[in-house]
Amino acid sequence: MPNIRSAKKALKQNIKKQKKNLQVKNKMKKVVKDLNKLIQEIEKSTEKITAENLKELQAGLKLSYKAIDKTTKNKILKKNTASRKKSKLAKKINILEKREKK
């Protein structure tokens, strides 16, 4: 525990910021996880991919991008980490879109 008054205040601020950052990061992880779950469900289905499924995927991708960008803007994630996550998601969806066209 800090002894100096300003250090005590700084500790309080750090704890508040840590909680807020954790909330934002967990929200982003949840959105990405939901999209990955949706992708896996579509991959497992033996039926052909429908246009409705693709619309769901695009909407999920848009939400994921938004969440990832927010975490990057708040400097919770680094820029390259965010772009890597977005790229991975986009690749998965592009593979499904190509499979749908065939």
Answer yes or no: is 14 within a domain: no
> Does the reported pTM lie above 0.75?
yes
Answer yes or no: is 12 within a domain: no
Answer yes or no: is 68 within a domain: yes
pLDDT tens per residue, range 66-95: 999 999 999 999 999 999 999 999 999 998
For tokens 């429908």, name the residue: 50
Domain that holds residue 68: 27-101
Answer yes or no: is 22 within a domain: no
Answer yes or no: is 21 within a domain: no
Q: What is the domain count for the chain?
A: 1
pLDDT tens per residue, range 49-69: 788 888 999 999 999 999 999
